[in-house]
Amino acid sequence: MPGILPIQGYRSLHNLTKLSKLEVPRNIMDAILPIKDDDAAIQKFGISFAVNMCKELLNSGLVNGLHFYTLNREVATISILTELGMWCDDPLSLKTLPWKAPASHKRCTEDEEAFMLWGTHWASLYSPESTSHHIISHIQNTYYLVNLVDNDFVSGNVLFQLVNKVLDGMSKASSPTTETDQNSLPSSSSSSS
């Protein structure tokens, strides 16, 4: 799949081109050779070059989106997306999704997506006043359904470690739950004496 791999260091670029047997365009080599020993300057160049390339791609009308190869080094990609106005530090604050609608007409609209079934079908199984209806509605109105794929088999569950880190940060940012609040939630199992 064609994608953008930001230049983040001279040595890593050299190793990548050696492994892939590809050549770096002369104009790029001419720009980075004088700064090859300055990692910060290389990364700054890589981000600037990628931002310009992304703007050109998006303005061409020939692409519907961008695909980035981060190789577990997401800092440059976040900088690129921030500069393009496509990064959001708090995705939960968004009312709409931060990406373009799919190009395929065969794909469902957001209102028909699986997560919308929480409100249209599952919640409707219960009376509007019931606790179950309120919980399902709360989940459907508060959370995003996200499909996560972790193909980094060598390093283990890196993606899920990142998700857990984000979730931990979110739970620390929210107000602590009191014992009274926990007692008011429905229990998943009931015990009888």
Kindly report, residue by residue over 145-172, the tens digit of the pLDDT: 666 665 655 566 666 677 777 777 777 7
Which of 26, 147, 36, 174 is closest to 92 using CA atoms?
174
pTM of the predicted model as reported, rounded to 2 decimal places: 0.49
Q: Is residue 4 classed as helix, strand or coil in its secondary structure?
A: strand
75-98: per-residue pLDDT in tens?
Answer: 899 999 999 988 877 665 655 554
Q: Are 50 and 80 in contact (CB under 8 A)?
A: yes
